[in-house]
Amino acid sequence: MSDTLRHTRARGAITHGPKPARQAAATSLPLASLNAALLLLLAPAAALAQDSERTLSEVVVIAGDGSAGLGLGTPATTGSNLGLTPMETPASVDVISREQLEQRGDHSLNDAITRAAGLSVMGHPGNGGGALSTRGFTDGTSVMRLYDGLRQYGGIGVTFPFDTWSVERIEVLRGPASVIYGDGAIGGVINVIPKKPTRGPVENEVQATVGTQGTARLAFGSGGALDERWSYRLDLSGNRSDGWVDRGDNRDATFSGALQFDPSADLSLRLSHARGEQKPMRYFGTPLIDGRQLSAVRENNYNVADGEIRYQDSWTALDARWTPNAATTVQARLYHIDSERKWRNAETYVHDSGSGLIDRSGNTDIRHDQTQTGFTANAAFEGTLFGLKNTFSAGFDVNRARFRHSNNTYVGSSGPVDPYDPVPGAFQSSIPTIPRYRNTAAQHAVFVENRLALTAQWTVVAGLRNDHAEITRKDLVTGTRAFEQTYDDTGWRLGTVYQLTPDLSLYAQYAEAADPVGALLMLTTANSAFDLSRGRQTEIGLKQRFWQGKGEWTLAAYEIVKTDLLTRDAADPSLRVQVGQQSSRGIEAGISAAFAPGWRLEANAALLRARYDDFTESVGGVAVSRDGNTPTNVPERLANLWLSWNFQPQWTATAGLRYVDKRYADNANTLKLPAYTTTDLSLRWDFAPRTSLALNGYNVFDKQYFTTAYYTATQWFYGPSRRVELTLNHRF
């Protein structure tokens, strides 16, 4: 594949398909201003807190027991617009609570997300660092990421949020989600929900972390009621580290704020704004040397010295919620998203067995400028249908997105380097970086959902959504229109839940969905001729709460088939045809239990069989079938375990294990990324009612492992090495 096509596929592989979405914020935050902003905000916030303490009773915060569990009884917005809990939803829905994020010490959003069953990360700089794999499907073409229910159309994919400080909870819906969010989610959806304004007294929180690898973090949060009608939420955080490879320094900063006005008991208005800036590690993986990965080069970085990666994202939203009566809820959101991204690096490394050196190519200078403005609204009504209890929801989405892509056509080389002692050199390219094309997407969608209670124990949930998108590409070099294409798709879901006992539910679901063949905002002229890929899923499962709510468990079995994949024509490998098929079958299980005083166990596991059923690629101009092979970057076994022990009133020890099975780096399944298990340990001391000190160790046995392969199958990314952090948290 040419460099041009490689970057088209990769940089567009994250968020596909026509569907607007739901919340947010906009602009960039200079990193240098974060500390000053925190200091300025601490003083007035502290004064406000002291004033509140003179009139309000004291609120004492202590370490919890992790009782949130799997969240089966908490309403989750990601699985439905009907206000259902995971127990009432005929689908696999996990909720990772704020308490669990704090207990596990997960500052990185990717670390937090992959604690859920069946999810693994395959992020690298080319896909914005956020690509995921679940149920046999990968990347933004099949695994969608949302911010507070809002979907960003992708070029590169979603690069915000990335830090968990401002996160209230993370909801994970596995399996097709086209009924709720449109195409591009056959594998699943991850919805990151930020903290919101609350009506209670003002509470503030500050957190500071220092650790190995030059790690330092500082965060501040504040929220509460200003008066009877106004409330707010404010969160700031900043991180820096030297990374786990040479010249791996990285830093980021995040701002999240919301102001809410409640003019009456039935009407609420909220203005939200969030923004973030990242300078990730300028690390593009480590090449195989004589067909092997060598421990001696684990920490080497083969990028140029003046390499650069920067992501700037901002999300702004105005939300309205109206409840004219107990049976009616109307919600609306007007939003704007703005993202700017830049890469300027030597990205491709190949070991030359003759010279013994690492040849570097693909000196890439890319810039993305992406905006999206939209409006979404829905209404839910509770009533009766044919004398049976019924809930109905209907809504629509409209948005317009623009994406401008600038590059240097990926031409340039900074020369070979010694694999053991690389001299980085400087970026070189003879081709100027100029705007090359602009894609525009105009979208609209309508959706309906209904839940009918046939009996007190038996409910049926159905949903339908139609998406329409018009994609236009303009060649900015020639000034001509390259193509104009229209996509129209209808996805649907039918499911049922039967309550065997008040705390045990059996469910089943059938769903049909769609994925685009490439990110619509980076769609090439060649790919614009193809239709959407189709997918269907059948799933059955059990969900139960036991021990008076102290324990919860879930079990799900599923089959997903995705058709109309792009594959090579067996008769003429130079041609691509849309006849391919891929499928997966699997079982997922999760449990959370406070099994003894002071003890809690949380665990999950996923087993699947993912295969190409009909897929051909061109190898040296010859058509080669990959039927029966496992798709790349798909682990077929995954497991997580987390055990906590509150062994003294003020002391809690925790231990976590993460297992990821082998994955293949190529469609031929000849290059295997080994399976790995990492161990995390934590000790927390609540030495005062509002103050805690936590010592966290990550990958404590310093396991050498690989998270993914780059666009070249012989260039692999090492996962983080061992690090230790000390975190002080204080609420006031």
Tokens of 59: 């609120």
More confident residue, 68 or 166: 166
Q: Which of 55, 42, 47 is nearest to 201 (CA)?
A: 55
pLDDT digits (tens, 9 = 90+) for 498-554: 999 999 999 999 999 888 887 788 888 888 888 888 899 999 999 999 998 899 999
Q: Is the dihedral of CA 111, 113, 115, 118 positive or negative?
A: negative
**Which contacts (CB < 8 Å, 24+ apart) does range 720-723 have?**
720/244, 721/213, 721/244, 721/298, 721/299, 722/212, 722/697, 722/698, 723/211, 723/212, 723/213, 723/215, 723/244, 723/697, 723/698, 723/699
| Phi, psi dihedrals of residue 621, rounded to the nearest 5° | 80, 5
Q: Which of 667, 722, 710, 606 is nearest to 123 (CA)?
A: 710
pLDDT of residue 654 exceeding 60? yes
CA–CA gap between residue 443 and residue 488 (Å, rounded): 10
pLDDT of residue 60: 34
pLDDT of residue 7 exceeding 50? no
Q: What is the mean pLDDT of the chain?
A: 88
pLDDT of residue 68: 55
CA–CA gap between residue 142 and residue 174 (Å, rounded): 11
pLDDT of residue 24: 37
Q: Hey, is 125 helix, strand or coil?
A: helix
Q: Hey, is 533 helix, strand or coil?
A: strand
Q: Is residue 122 a contact partner of residue 372, using CB atoms and an 8 Å limit?
A: no
pLDDT digits (tens, 9 = 90+) for 563-617: 988 888 777 777 788 888 999 999 999 999 999 999 999 999 999 999 999 999 9
CA–CA gap between residue 687 and residue 541 (Å, rounded): 43
The residues with which 382 forms a beta bridge, in sequence order, are 391
pLDDT digits (tens, 9 = 90+) for 192-218: 999 999 999 999 999 999 999 999 999
pLDDT category at 155 given cuts 50, 70, 90 is low
Geometric angle at alpha carbon 174, from 503 and 673, rounded to 5°: 125
Max CA distance (Å), the chain: 81
CA–CA gap between residue 9 and residue 1 (Å, rounded): 10
Which domains, ranges and CATH numbers included, belong to the chain? 3-731 (2.40.170.20)
pLDDT category at 13 given cuts 50, 70, 90 is very low
The total number of residues written for the chain in this structure: 732
